[in-house]
Chain A
Amino acid sequence: MRSFLTLLVRLFPLGFRRQFAPDIIEQIESDYELAARRGTLAVLLFSLSTSFDLVRGALAERWNPTWATARDPDTTGREVAMTMNEWTKDLRLALRALRRAPGFTAVTVITLGLAIGANAGIFSIVDTVLLEPLPYPASDRLVHIAASAPGTEFPDEFGVAAEFYVHYGEQSELLESVSTYNSFTSTLRVGDRTERVRMSFPTPSLFSTLGATPILGRLPTPEDEDRVAVISHAAWTSWFASDPDVIGQSYYISGTNRTVIGVMAPGFWFPREDVLLWVPSDVRAEDITPGRFGAPLVGRVAPDVTNEALADELTRLALQLPERFGGSAAYARLMERHRPVVRSMEEELLGDVRGPLRVLLGSVGIVLLIACGNVANLFIVRAEHRQRDLAVRRALGAGRRALIRSQMAEAVLIAGLAGALAVGLARVSLPLFIRAAPDDVPRLGEVGLGATTLLFTLGASLFAALACGLLPAIRASAPNLDRLREAGRGSTGRRHWARNGLVVGQTALALVLLIGSGLLVRSFWSLRNVDPGYDTADLFTFQIAPERSDLTDGPAWAAFHMDFAERIRALPGVASVGIVENLPLNEGVSSGRYLTEATAADVDGGALVYHTWAGEDYFATMGIEVRQGRAFQRSDHISDLGNVIVSRSAADLMWPGESPVGQRLKSRDLDQWETVVGVVEDVLQYGFRDDPQPMIYFPLVGQTPTQWALSSPAYVVKTPRAESIGPEIREIVREIAPMAPMYRMFTMEGLAADSMVRLSFTMLTLGIASLMALILGAIGLFGVLSYVVAERTQEIGLRMALGAEARRVQGMVVGQGARVVLLGVALGIAAALASTRILGNLLFGVEAIDAGTFVGMSATMLLVGLLASYLPARRASNVDPIQSLRGE
């Protein structure tokens, strides 16, 4: 907007500009800053009044110069001024004309305003989320590095191990700097306030890799080891009241006391916006056990290095790892298969949201096109009513340009009003929209109607003015002088090509949106009907971290959790309680290599199986079916017998064709055998789109005092009061572990909805867009046919007087509509065939080119089109022959 205003300064004559332009621009910039501090509305008002003032001042200066040296032979200026003057005159006339046609004005302004408003809203999101650069200097040189091993049973992409970080950092010539990081929630205690917050655990090099500097304090060095923390600006304000003395203070952070050494700038985040602090710790080459995969890398490449070149170098470096760090033969074999995954950090952080946002921007863009089509149609009708008027003006010597200008003036006014309405609509609806959006979309909190969006809205309005007004204006500027001779009646079908063309285009575009949203609806249903292996109804879940110093061994933990579970079970309405270390849909699970008695000799092999820990009535509470054997009993939890339960696919993997119950298994890294006591149904851990992982469940508590894996498990509570039981449980927590934060409180239904939120949100938005498109398209067709019928009233009357049946007349009109719609549907199918692929991984259980959806939506479009044709057709068949002929 600011650059737009400075552009307006160029309207002043050259001499004036030479003397005053820098001063004028300084004043605009300073005042703009002031306005920007007062908010969007102030910027809008300032921009409007300043534009007005500049245009007026420039015109006045050209007309009646105040600056002595301005009297240079600047004739183009005078021409511009004259044109501007004529525009002013035309706009004033148009305003008067529109005031006399309130219906037309209201319909067109509302149609365009809705469409431009939707575009402004989505654009402001796209602008903030996708177009603004990441908050790191030269962020285009930041890359995400992970690992893959095609042809092995490893996932398509997985985090690297510590030796990669060390070796890449020392040996790579293309990487300037590299860091590895992790992030999870852990406990932060400041004074009496104890909460689980998200923290990141990077190597100290993270900040230099990102090019970030603190606003307070300093950055970590390897010498700090893991005794320090750097806090985010958000943590500084919300936890420490922006107190600069926080630097050097010690707080309980993730299990121990650490010293705060730095505060990052507002706006800095990594790798997620909700990370409140960073606990750096370095990796030393001599401490590494190779092959512990899991953490991604962020690297800064030297200028002009392509991802491919880096991938080649890293492939080579990875092959040197077994020699340098040792490891098993399996590790060496894996390194032969290893291929690095390299992509830009921007894609890593924003890639997931880019697709849906582009789909949304595209669909609201289509709605705008359709709306423009409708309004253009109305303008054509309006111009045709004025044919005689225009012909008179032309005959009296009005130039073609003047006629176009006078026609365009109305379109410009309408679009301007629609733009203003759009800004208002976007202001009101944007917050609602953002609340409905998935909350893992980065930077969503910063979205607002900024200057860029206002500029975009201005552009969209100008586009709408051109799209709506130009075609009718050009057509109207060449009025048929013959019309003067006619008594203002009748017309031929030939002139309808433009309007029919508009309807064909609208129908095609609307059908593309309909098919797109149809595919998303089908995906949504498919996802809803996936059986994840567990129930989601009537389940409340939460986590606590007891933070009690007396819990130092397995049995103590066991006693604590059993007592706690017992207390929850005693609450009214609670059917059962379960405990699990990694709750499906909320947390990931880790994996290991497991051997059976048959494969025990293969110390390098073993099946890749995931593991977690379950306790109390976990399987019954979650509704996970026990297929063979039994679920855990209390004796499994308090003994060290080593009983485990495996999932169906783990059983199939380790003992194909055998009964798994009674079989033994062991981790490749440990020397303890476990006995399988039961087989349970597979569960979908990560979401409804993924395949289930083979899984081993260990008893959650009561393993040997030296081997217990319990930190902060998730509780699941089966109760019809899942929505409201939270506070009662919190009371119990306050009694038994006053320092324990209770967090990650959800209902399983909520988690399931969250896991589909990206799809459901896109589906909802695209659904609304396609509904708008369908309605606008139908209105367009209805308008065209109504007009045709009105125009042909006399012809139809004559036909009926000559004995044509009402049904035939109806058929004639509907047939005309059907031809237009059919053409539109054919074009729409072709366009949809070419474009539904961009829905990509939003789709689930349905192909991008799905015959059922294509046929169904085409039929819907056709039906709506026929309905829109039928109403004017019925009017046509009701024409009274006598009445219509009397008009002759």
Chain B
Amino acid sequence: MTDGSESGPSNIEYHVLLAMAEGPLYGYAIKGAVEAESDGTLTPRAGSLYRVLARLMTRGLVREAEPSHAEEPHPGRTRRYYALTPEGRTTLAEAARRLKAVAALAEERLGAAGGP
């Protein structure tokens, strides 16, 4: 099966990692961040999102964490928060660097070809 485990994160995995880069988040907030940061191109449904999360945790890129601030918006409902591990951070940075390089390459070629 194509896990993409050796070849860097997939698009949705990248966005899930990205969502947690600023600090721990709970599940529904991750979904919101992914939707917003992908300009609405990714709208993960519940069944898919948590499998991505599970995969990232199994790979050691994400761990369960304490929330960054001791706020409990919904009393009576304990939420699980998720955060990047150091490895997760490295993976995200690595992926970002690669994306940036690829993007620069694209701009360069398009520019060279006299594109707009």
Contacts and interface: CB of A to CB of B under 8 A. Distances in A.
Contacts of A25: 46
A835 interface: no
Interface in A3-62: 9, 12, 16, 19-20, 22-28, 30-31, 49-50, 53-58, 60-61
A769 to B, nearest CB: 40
Interface string B41-57: 00001111111111101
A9 B45 CA distance: 12
Interface in A393-445: none
Interface stretch (A64-72, A229-237, A583-591): A64-72
B28 A16 contact: no
Contacts of A67: 54, 57-58
Contacts of A70: 54
A653 to B, nearest CB: 70
Interface string A238-255: 000000000000000000
B70 interface: no
Contact of A23 (B1, B27, B51, B57): B27
A66 B79 contact: no
B78 to A, nearest CB: 8
A24 B47 CA distance: 7
Contacts of B28: 23, 26-27, 30
A2 to B, nearest CB: 12
Contacts of B46: 9, 23-25, 27-28, 31, 50, 53-54, 57
B80 interface: yes
Contacts of A22: 77, 79-80
Contacts of A56: 47
A53 B55 CA distance: 17
A49 B45 CA distance: 9
B14 interface: no
Interface in B14-34: 26-28, 31
Nearest to A26: B28
B53 A20 contact: yes
Contacts of A64: 1
A575 to B, nearest CB: 70
Interface string A328-371: 00000000000000000000000000000000000000000000
Contacts of A49: 45
A693 B27 CA distance: 71
Nearest to B1: A64
A23 B58 contact: no
Contact of B54 (A16, A26, A54): A16
Given A50-B46, A53-B45, A53-B48, A23 B54 contact: no
Contacts of A26: 27-28, 77, 79
Nearest to A27: B46
B47 A23 contact: no
A24 B58 contact: no
SS of B interface (majority): helix
Contacts of A30: 28
Contact of A20 (B1, B31, B50, B58): B50
Interface size class of B (residues with CB under 8 A): 20 to 34
B54 A53 contact: no
Nearest to B55: A66
B48 A57 contact: yes
B58 A66 contact: yes
Contacts of B49: 27
Given A20-B53, A57-B48, A61-B51, A68 B27 contact: no
B47 A53 contact: yes
Nearest to A54: B47
Nearest to A11: B47
B54 A66 contact: yes
A56 B49 CA distance: 12
Given A16-B54, A30-B28, A66-B54, A23 B48 contact: no
Nearest to A30: B28
Interface in A48-105: 49-50, 53-58, 60-61, 64, 66-68, 70
Contact of B51 (A31, A50, A60): A60
A28 B47 CA distance: 9
A70 B79 CA distance: 21
Interface string B71-102: 00000010110000000000000000000000
Nearest to A8: B47
A28 B50 CA distance: 12
A68 B58 contact: yes
B51 A24 contact: no
Nearest to B50: A20
Contacts of A23: 26-28, 46, 50, 79-80
A66 B12 CA distance: 15
Contacts of B45: 49-50, 53-54, 57
A63 to B, nearest CB: 9
Q: Chain A CB within 10 Å — which of B1, B45, B55, B58 has the most? A: B45
A74 to B, nearest CB: 15
A20 B26 CA distance: 11
Nearest to A58: B47
Contacts of B1: 64
Nearest to B74: A26
A66 B45 CA distance: 16
Nearest to B56: A66
Contact of A66 (B26, B27, B51, B80): B51
B46 to A, nearest CB: 4
Q: Chain B CB within 10 Å — which of A9, A64, A68 has the most? A: A68
Q: Chain B CB within 10 Å — which of A23, A26, A53, A61 has the most? A: A23
Contacts of B79: 22-23, 26
A19 B51 contact: no
Q: Chain A CB within 10 Å — which of B26, B31, B46, B80 has the most? A: B46
Nearest to A21: B50
Given A28-B46, A50-B45, A19 B54 contact: yes
Nearest to A50: B45
A27 B48 CA distance: 12
Interface string A840-869: 000000000000000000000000000000
Contacts of B53: 20
B3 to A, nearest CB: 8
A31 B35 CA distance: 13
A66 B58 CA distance: 7
A66 to B, nearest CB: 4
Contacts of B27: 20, 23-24, 26-27
Contacts of B31: 27
A214 B41 CA distance: 45
Nearest to A25: B46
Contacts of A12: 47
A528 B70 CA distance: 75
Contacts of A50: 45-47
Contact of A57 (B26, B47, B80): B47
A56 B46 CA distance: 11
Contacts of B51: 57, 60-61, 66
Contacts of A66: 51-52, 54-55, 58
6 contacts: A23-B27, A24-B46, A50-B46, A50-B47, A54-B47, A57-B51
Interface of A: 9, 12, 16, 19-20, 22-28, 30-31, 49-50, 53-58, 60-61, 64, 66-68, 70
Given A24-B46, A50-B46, 4 more contacts: A50-B45, A57-B51, A60-B51, A67-B58
The 6 closest A-B pairs by CB, nearest first: A57-B47, A23-B27, A53-B45, A66-B55, A67-B54, A66-B54
Interface of B: 1, 26-28, 31, 45-55, 57-58, 77, 79-80
